[in-house]
Structure 1
């Protein structure tokens, strides 16, 4: 059978671009660190469904559904019939074709959705937990679940979760669900979170990763670039690493007063940064948020991508990590400074940006202006060429002492002659 002609292909082409919200991570990003986008213990949605290494919690999903049906005195068909009406709408959210038929796809949405809802309810309300539930007895399982549930590929549409929550608790109390999710994900963020639930419409949320991204969204004063902003790439250059900036008389200070990790200030030669904790899940967390911003750049500022690029400039080597750790800006739970440096050096590989709305462009300009001052350039050259090691400092100190002693001896000799 001959393949269809271009005329036939055009006839079959849909004019409207599908409004997909759940994608697979493209190969350019995935090839840098494939594991960062892969779930560790649980599959949510169709992309990783049925994988052998993720069967550990499949029975647990059924158990949560069974316990809920018992406690609410409902039949599983009550949930399936509601979600079946949304099956086509949910299917359109996925950029990749879904091989599951309507029945299997609907059942997957119900099973995964109920598990997520019951998980966050049990996390917040201890009395709902089973006595021997391993999820709440083994910290590593909860840590992996928090990681897996915000992965870019491991999602179901948020409107499915809203519909299921209406069947589990009082219908329409969606702010309650927002609170449960915020509580569940609270300790996965590596830095301060500036939440404002009043600005959040549950029906506009795409999926859980979108919710996590919105929760971390910084205040409007940081995202000050408007639609008519000039291309700021013409006005700024990348800054030096922490080591280079220290040589140019830039000081670093931990800032506890800011409400968001993304607020960076530069005042009188001092860079003030909020503390950031680096742990096992941090790379995956940041990579998936960066991937999200790569696909939805038209609607949101890429503040995570911009901040990671900012840190990538500050961190070239383990020496830079050590400097930032010394001032309390990086809390390194991984222990190895070299590992942290390598992580940041690779996080923006194959990532588009920073774009013309780069939120740290003005900071970069101010820092570079400071470093270009003659006094600071002279200090940088002195530290780089002569004060770059303890032995060099000792040698200069000894030389200065010898010069002073020589001058002193000369003065005394002159005075003796005069007297």
Structure 2
């Protein structure tokens, strides 16, 4: 099978170009992509007025356009053109050039972090790569450090319950932590510590389109793992309001370049009309639900939230507790010294008096702290 005929089979429906015109489009577009990746990787700025590298917004727009499914050049065409134009002084393979160019499409990772990581993608599988979005999917999946869960496939939608929002999870005693994995898909929950680890995600103007195209590819291509669709479902459950987005932002899980309201809407509409027959966070969701049903984490979280959420609150609580103890001892002494004739101390009165003293002292301390902070 010749290259031109094979390339046509990558597209849905007939291509309205005759052979020469179609081949010309593939060659021109393919050579542009390869040259772009090379110049970016090797920091080639031989043309001082090159608008692609002198305009600050151009790289963001180019990355966005290269992810759109309707703009794809088959990967096998890119590989063929790359091998025909190899430079001995630029030894990196096309796969590595693409990884470096798209290194910060989901986060603000440094390119050195990408170069220092091992090539998780098996180079023997390159022939199966369809295009750039497929490469990015495989890359993100390959970077998952440890596969803990097998996907739920048997009627998962009838038994699955969405996890609580970030705000509700915090109230249930769950702590959020910025994950260290290089894949945004690598979300883990430590049930023993009650810590949900989520890798950072950069939210900018082009993030929605990027994720939508990856989800669309999963929906349309047969036997394609629904990894990004599952990710969208999970994050949508976590973020229902601007407050939820703010919680994740404070933990540096969301690097939000939009306002909090737009970030919440962004996730709420991300996977509309998408269907999942393999949900990859089913086990994680079950662990979260079990943890939220426990009482002690909720009480502990409420205690920390109400009395130890700031240094001033801690100081106020400690001071009030000390004064409560002193007040209790003083009340004991007064009652014991004044009531020896009756040989008995009214314990209920003692406790009530001490609590009244505590309430008064607590109000005084809180007012003092408020005055100091203002």
Name the TM tier (shorter chain). 0.7 to 0.9
The equivalences for 1:219-238 within 5 A come to 219=144, 221-222=146-147, 224-225=149-150, 230-233=154-157, 236-238=160-162
CA shift at 1:216, angstroms?
Answer: 1.4
CA shift at 1:92, angstroms?
Answer: 2.3
User: Structure 1: how far apart are the matches of 2:151 and 2:166?
Assistant: 30
Aligned equivalent of 1:289: 214
Aligned equivalent of 2:96: 179
Aligned equivalent of 2:69: 152
Aligned equivalent of 2:203: 278
Structure 1 residue 332 corresponds to structure 2 residue 256? yes
CA shift at 1:378, angstroms?
Answer: 6.3
User: Structure 1: how far apart are the matches of 2:272 and 2:151?
Assistant: 27
- For 1:63-100, what per-residue CA distance to the aligned partner results, in whole angstroms no more than 9, with x for missing partners? xxxxxxxxxxxxxxxxxxxx9x5323222221133222
Gaps of 5+ in 1: 1-82
For residue 234 of structure 2, the aligned residue among 302, 310, 321 is: 310
Change (3 A) 1:110 1:259: closer
User: Structure 2: how far apart are the matches of 1:89 and 1:293?
Assistant: 22
User: Structure 1: how far apart are the matches of 2:105 and 2:279?
Assistant: 25
Change (3 A) 1:145 1:157: same
Change (3 A) 1:191 1:310: farther
User: Structure 2: how far apart are the matches of 1:249 and 1:236?
Assistant: 22
Conserved 8 A contact 1:253-1:327: yes
Conserved 8 A contact 1:174-1:202: no
User: Structure 2: how far apart are the matches of 1:292 and 1:314?
Assistant: 24
Change (3 A) 1:169 1:128: farther
Higher radius of gyration, 1 or 2: 2
Conserved 8 A contact 2:106-2:184: no
The equivalences for 1:270-419 within 5 A come to 270-296=195-221, 298-334=222-258, 336-353=259-276, 355=277, 357-376=278-297, 418=339
CA shift at 1:259, angstroms?
Answer: 4.2
Conserved 8 A contact 1:223-1:301: no
Aligned equivalent of 1:51: none
Gaps of 5+ in 2: 341-374
CA shift at 1:231, angstroms?
Answer: 4.8
- For 1:137-195, what per-residue CA distance to the aligned partner results, in whole angstroms no more than 9, with x for missing partners? 11211211111111111112122212222322269x99711122222222213377775
SS in 2 for 1:217: helix
User: Structure 2: how far apart are the matches of 1:379 and 1:126?
Assistant: 53
Conserved 8 A contact 1:244-1:380: no
Conserved 8 A contact 1:321-1:341: yes
User: Structure 1: how far apart are the matches of 2:148 and 2:17?
Assistant: 42
User: Structure 1: how far apart are the matches of 2:98 and 2:295?
Assistant: 52
CA shift at 1:103, angstroms?
Answer: 2.5
Conserved 8 A contact 2:73-2:131: yes
User: Structure 1: how far apart are the matches of 2:30 and 2:41?
Assistant: 17
How many corresponding residue pairs?
A: 321
SS in 2 for 1:201: helix
Change (3 A) 1:200 1:277: farther
CA shift at 1:250, angstroms?
Answer: 1.1
User: Structure 1: how far apart are the matches of 2:8 and 2:124?
Assistant: 24
CA shift at 1:114, angstroms?
Answer: 1.4
SS in 1 for 2:188: strand
